[in-house]
Amino acid sequence: MPDPARLVLGIETSCDDTSVAVLERGTTLRAHLIAAQDVHRLYGGVVPELASRAHLELLPKLASEALAEAGVAAADLTGIAVTRAPGLVGSLVVGVAFARAYGLALGIPVVGVNHIEAHLHAATLERGASPFPALALVVSGGHTELVEVEGVGDYRWLGSTRDDAAGEAFDKVAKLLGLGFPGGPAIERLAREGRRDAFDFPRPMLGQPGYDFSFSGLKTAVAMALAAHGAPPFPGRLAADIAASFQAAAVDTLVAKTVRALDARAARALTLGGGVACNRELRERLAAECERRGVAFRVPSPRLCADNAAMIALLGAWILARGEPSDPDLDVVASLEESGLGVQHAP
């Protein structure tokens, strides 16, 4: 009987980036393509309808290019993994419909993957299997999740954001500064020119017990600091100091909560994922904290931090290797809470 996990096509369309990958035997990444949708820069954020249309146009081309880069034919594929939750419904529908049609044409199984779960394990592609128990911090435009990972499929949620996600706060502050979209890279570049102590921005919820996050108040504090200066463009020194002080507050908050969990949960490893995981200050601060505690720090390369098809193919390969059949419905789900991931909240 052929191994359904031998050669898996991964498809990721949860938000605005279209990504396709080919993964061999759950370990060898034969191809990995990510197409950014630059049209959203014109609007300062993701426009769901435009994202869906772009996925529809890009997916067939990317799938063909990924197969060519991998040096395989479509008929060589043994399974398909596609993001089914959480995300923008229209974007998810496009990816799932394409995957189902492709799988039906080839007569191979198609499995749905939760892309937040995929972030918990994305570092495995480059760093091998994680020691358990582990913690995972997923920080992106839509999510800030601190998760205890006992093994594949065994998760306990320690904390989440109560309002804006960390990446969303970066995007909104960048918009206030007139820096464009996406905001994270622009804030990080500008912050290098500013002073992190120029503004005393709040570190939300650090004085409260537990591991939940909140970034809405931090964003409001930035808006108030800029209110007296009119509209962008702002003087270079002011903008740089705002960017540096905001980034310092956001990173301090993320690090403090994560370190609190590391000390309380006796984790052997920390995995960092999501688009904000590309932030150098966040990576360096968490790496230093892990080194002090003898904890393995596992962070993927930048292409595997953002939403990507490589991690979807990896989770799909694990699902297929367990012998789970194709899901005939493959319903898409927008929210993490309703995605069926089996979220358990730790005491």
Per-residue model confidence (pLDDT) at position 35: 92
Angle at 49 between CA 45 and CA 53, to 5 degrees: 110
Name the E strands within the chain: 7-12, 18-24, 28-35, 79-85, 110-114, 134-139, 144-151, 154-160, 269-273, 296-298
The answer for residues whose C-beta is within 8 angstroms of residue 112's C-beta and 6 or more apart is 81, 82, 83, 84, 85, 96, 327, 330
Per-residue model confidence (pLDDT) at position 41: 67
Tokens of residue 220, six digits: 């409001």
Cross-strand bridge partners of residue 146: 137, 159
SS3 state of residue 298: strand
Q: What is the pTM of this model?
A: 0.94
Per-residue model confidence (pLDDT) at position 56: 95
Separation CA 318–CA 268 (nearest Å): 22
Per-residue model confidence (pLDDT) at position 338: 86
SS3 state of residue 35: strand
Low-confidence residues in the chain, pLDDT < 50 = none
> Per residue in 311-323, pLDDT tens?
999 999 999 999 8
Angle at 346 between CA 341 and CA 347, to 5 degrees: 155
Judge contact between 73 and 2, C-beta under 8 A: no
Per-residue model confidence (pLDDT) at position 140: 92
